[in-house]
Amino acid sequence: MANDAVMEWVCKTLIPDEDFRTRGVADKKALWKKKELTVGFLQGSSKLQDRVLETARRWTNPDEGGALLKFIKAADPASADIRIAFDPAGGSWSYVGTDAVTSAKKGQPTMNLGWATETASDKSFASVVLHEFGHAIGLLHEHNHPMANLKWKKDVVYADLGGPPNDWSKKTVDFNVFESYPPNRVVMSPNVDLVSIMIYTIPSRWLDGQPGIMPSDHLSKGDIKFIRQLYT
Ligand SMILES: [Zn+2]
């Protein structure tokens, strides 16, 4: 089913204001200033929570050159920096970086991992958790990189994402899929990383004469290098 596939490769970032601000592959204003982030689970079994944390910590694995950050499980989930829900009907989404502090409602989720279940395969679990935690530490979608140069078949994308389970408006599609950050306003890696965990999986039918982009279930070398530059 095409729609089942769509569900696996799209997420919405929550940007609270519509105005463009300095952001890019990483949102400069949304980078955390502290080195230890508390992660609170508003739901989920301890087994599921541990699986999420263990997976998310691939971003901060010192042996692999990752971010100099620590994810600490919060004793009081409602006051954690990153607050996670597992609403199966809510899809997967996250606030970007410190928007979790400045824009999310107190005690409410800052991330939903609707597709990260105890029975999910390691690959699909990692794909969702790594991507959403990338947002949580300030990263944006790689396909919006100014140098991505993707030739969209917009009508096809509107049709695919406008239906269930996403039901996205054109405006939401424009924002999450087609936006390209102006190069003079962004913080970005020098080249677009087409194997980044932060890029959507893009079926070839969404593109005009370009190959599709396969799903990723691991951090690319570019992801690790870039996040280390941001959190060093
Ligand atoms: Zn995303």
Residue 215 CA to residue 45 CA, distance in Å, equals 27
CA of 112 to the centre of ligand 1 (A): 11
Reported confidence tier of residue 23, pLDDT bands at 50, 70, 90:
very low
What rounded mean pLDDT belongs to the chain?
Answer: 85
Separation of 35 CA from ligand 1 center, angstroms?
A: 23
Look at residue 104 and tell me if it is in a domain: yes
| Cα 128 to ligand 1 centroid, rounded to whole Å | 9
- Determine the pLDDT at residue 213: 87
* Global pTM value: 0.87
pLDDT band at 1 (very low <50, low <70, confident <90, very high): very low
At 172 the pLDDT is 86
Extract the tokens encoding 115: 């597709």
pLDDT-derived band at 89 (thresholds 50, 70, 90) equals: confident
* Alpha carbon of 65 to ligand 1 centroid (Å): 23
- How much distance in Å is there from the Cα of 33 to the middle of ligand 1? 22
pLDDT of amino acid 10: 63
Q: Dig out the tokens for 74 from the structure.
A: 């919060």
Q: What is the mean pLDDT of residues 27-50?
A: 94
58-72 mean pLDDT: 93
What range does the domain containing 56 cover?
2-223
162 domain-assigned? yes
- Tokens coding 206: 């969404």
**Is 228 domain-assigned?**
no
Ramachandran angles phi, psi of 159, nearest 5° = -70, -45
pLDDT of residue 12: 66
| Total Cβ atoms within 10 A of residue 16 | 10
Q: Where are the beta strands (DSSP E) in the chain?
A: 12-14, 36-41, 70-73, 82-85, 92-95, 111-113
pLDDT, position 64: 86
Q: In which order are the strands placed within the sheet that holds 12-14?
A: 12-14, 92-95, 111-113, 82-85, 36-41, 70-73
What mean pLDDT is predicted for residues 111-136? 93
d(CA 146, CA 149): 7
Structure confidence at residue 223 as a pLDDT band (50, 70, 90): very high
Q: What's the 1 CA to ligand 1 centre distance in angstroms?
A: 21
State residue 156's pLDDT score.
95
> Residues within 5 Å of ion ligand 1 by Cβ?
11
Check pLDDT > 70 for residue 20. no
Distance 75 CA to ligand 1 centre (A): 27
Q: Compute the distance from residue 131 Cα to the ligand 1 centre, in Å.
A: 6
Expressed in angstroms and rounded, the spacing between residue 132 Cα and the centre of ligand 1 is: 6
CATH of the domain at 76: 3.40.390.10
> How far does residue 72's CA lie from ligand 1's centre (Å)?
22
Cα–ligand 1 centroid distance for 110 (angstroms):
13
* Residue 63 resides in a domain: yes
123 occurs within a structural domain: yes
Is position 231 within any domain? no
Can you tell me the distance from the alpha carbon of 82 to that of 111, in angstroms, rounded to the nearest whole number? 7
Backbone CA torsion sign across 36, 137, 47, 197: negative
Question: Is 204 inside any structural domain?
Answer: yes
Please, what's the b/e burial string for 49-72 (b: 16 or more CB within 10 A of its CB; e: otherwise)? bebbbebbebbbeeeeebbebebe
- Count up the domains in the chain and report the number: 1
Distance CA 48, CA 33 (A): 28
